[in-house]
A and B are shown apart, each in its own frame.
Chain A
Amino acid sequence: MTIGIPKALIYWKRPYFWQTFFKELGFKVFLSCQTNKKVVEMGVRVADPETCFSIKVFFGHLLWLDKKCDWIFIPRLKTNEQRLEYCPKFFGLPDLAKILVKTPILTETFDEKKEKFEGSVERLGAKLNKNKKEVKKAIEIAFLEEKKTKEKEEKEFFEKIQSKKQKIILISHPYNLYDDYVNLRIKEKLENLNAEVIFINQISTESKPCLSASKNQKRLSGWPKFHWEFGQEIMEQIQEILKYNISGVVEISSFQCGCDAVLREFVEREFKKRKIPFLYLLIDEQAGEAGIQTRIEAFMDTIK
């Protein structure tokens, strides 16, 4: 039995967890290929023309996986452990995937307002005919794996923040940050221009987002209480990074991303208030690499 996981969008929310989890349960895990032009084109053809670029890429991966495995795993992510919601476009993904592919979809709802994460995973295990004991063991190992990579990232962050090069913060969702085709190899481009690139999600915040979000938050911090998991997180990571000396900030968002339309307003204000150079880049299926290169070069020149 092979379980296919599209390597886009929700995969990047928990990149190592699901892989390890299914492997521990004795399944073969089959990841879709790196994003390339063909994958994106496939996705654009089937997706609704008005949904965001990231969803289109996801559908491309999904079609690539079709008929290559026995199951395709697409979780329905609703709320995370802090009871903050994911993007509403994730809620309908398994249903939309069912329309597109013939391979059966393996799905489970993860709504931590109603049920703990472990409970949902156990139900997922039951669907695969695994008993609770096996599932529990697999969860533990998967969590350990996840923790290891997180610690590695943290270490990397502290190394990077101490470097003498110009430090550029990349703000975006993980599915834009880690997918090199989607973000037009922006990290590489910035590094070629002699900058140290730090991803926003490498920054760890001490406080838990839910606890610090109080009713009067808007008056205190200048941004409303976000109900999106990334909203609260990104704003707090920004507060953390502002303690260090940074040279500039680049925000990437996919075209037609509804959440970013809200978030951008407040992210931009945080940096403009402190007179830190800020560049906002939109990415879409047209992928004009030359245009991005020019803008990044111009941006780096303003910093110097």
Chain B
Amino acid sequence: MKATFPYWGNYTIAFKALFKKLGVDFIAPEKSSQRSVGEGVKISPEMYCFPLKVNIGDYLAAIRKGADTVFMVTSSKGSCRLRYYGDIQEKALIENGHNIDFIILDQNPKDIYKKLKKNSGASFFQIIKAFYFFYKKLGFIEWLERKAQYIRPRELKRGEVDRLLDNTFEKLDKINNFRGVSKFKKEIKREIREIGTEKDKIVPKVGLIGEIFTVTDGAINFDIEKKLGREGIEVHRDMDISYQLKKSVFPWKDWIIQRKIIPYLKSTVGGHGRDAIYEMLNYIKEDFDGIIHLLPFGCMPETTVRPILEKIHKENGIPFLSLSLDEQVAEVGINTRIEAFVDVVRNYHKTRC
């Protein structure tokens, strides 16, 4: 068995670590590119949402290298189309002549444990250890991303933190033991301190909200974080994998969210629809200067909540930009819209200072 899994931004490193620790023979997915997405679009259902097409493109690249099993995490609790990702992807691949096994993992610990045990043959202790290692790397990646979001608009030499980021992820990928990760983190901490920054600079802040995959995967959203950072804007986002993991283990986060957004929406709409409203309200409370809403074209929960987000935007006057991403969207178009938005954000920031 040669396993593969979808590419997911920088988090792919953590998933690689998980499979390595489990002792599963796997082929790491390549970074999604225009080409791989184009390939995926060709064989996937036309009306389906964008992440599915991206995933299929990733699989195709891995299949060419010899992969024959796909691990895919879906959610069997949600109301949106993510539930059928595994089934549809399997169907699309098989109909196009790729003989491939699908192992569909559900978003609950019991199911994941059972299926991983069955397919990898690892012991209980090994699986726990692998997950701990996965979580450690994941935490490190998310911490570094957050640090970079803070430093980018403040750095003296442009592009320094991005270079550090690339180097770090490359090195992190090679580290194979627990102690190595901790030691490496200390090293990176020191390196970050060495980056020259303007400490007291007050910069406009923008919150990224929306669907988890488009928000977190730089290959899909055209590195929107970096773009905004280089324009001198501090980016914040709550959405990442550990947020999702916490939410799937502890249900009360959902209850808190529901209580906070009750004037706007009284029910779940599937996916991360409620979270988007909650995050937007939160960012407004924290005095942010703009909100960017990212969604795959036609995403059911996000399009449902978008009128509500627009209503909040009208009530509060906070600059708001909603970007739908799909295979047709060109980077230049996104660039223009972001540039215009950045101007609005700067003006808004100035008027309030």
User: Residues of A at under 8 Å CB distance from B?
Assistant: 47-48, 50-51, 76, 78, 85, 87-89, 91-92, 94-96, 99, 109, 218, 223-224, 227, 256-262, 264-265, 269
Contact = CB atoms under 8 A, between A and B. Distances in A.
Interface string B72-93: 0000000111011001100100
Contact of A95 (B45, B300, B308): B308
B213 to A, nearest CB: 16
Interface string B44-57: 01011100000000
Given A85-B79, A262-B88, A51 B267 contact: no
B181 interface: no
Interface in B59-104: 79-81, 83-84, 87-88, 91
B304 A92 contact: yes
Interface in B11-41: none
Contacts of A269: 91
B139 interface: no
B303 to A, nearest CB: 5
B306 A48 contact: yes
Interface stretch (B121-129, B158-166, B268-276): B268-276
6 contacts: A48-B303, A87-B300, A88-B80, A95-B264, A96-B304, A99-B307
A259 B304 CA distance: 14
Contacts of A260: 47
Given A224-B84, A261-B47, A76 B267 contact: yes
A48 B307 CA distance: 7
Interface in B295-312: 297-298, 300-301, 303-308, 311
Contact of B81 (A76, A95, A223, A261): A261
B84 A258 contact: no
Nearest to A111: B267
Interface of B: 45, 47-49, 79-81, 83-84, 87-88, 91, 264-271, 273, 297-298, 300-301, 303-308, 311, 324
A243 to B, nearest CB: 25
A94 B307 contact: no
A110 to B, nearest CB: 11
Nearest to A89: B304
A78 B79 CA distance: 10
Given A95-B308, A256-B47, A258-B298, A50 B303 contact: yes
Given A47-B307, A258-B47, 11 more contacts: A48-B303, A88-B273, A88-B304, A91-B268, A92-B269, A92-B308, A95-B267, A95-B308, A258-B49, A261-B45, A265-B88
A51 B298 CA distance: 7
Contact of B84 (A48, A96, A257, A262): A262
A92 B84 contact: no
A91 B91 contact: no
Given A92-B304, A96-B307, A258 B324 contact: no
Closest 10 CB pairs of A and B: A261-B47, A88-B270, A88-B79, A258-B300, A224-B87, A50-B303, A91-B267, A92-B269, A92-B304, A262-B84
Contacts of A89: 269, 300, 303-304
A265 B46 CA distance: 10
B258 to A, nearest CB: 12
Contacts of A264: 45, 47
Contacts of B269: 88-89, 91-92
A265 B91 contact: yes
A157 B324 CA distance: 44
A50 B81 CA distance: 16
B88 A95 contact: no
B51 to A, nearest CB: 13
A264 B45 CA distance: 9
A91 B300 CA distance: 11
Contacts of A109: 266-267
A78 B264 CA distance: 18
Contact of B47 (A50, A78, A96, A257): A257
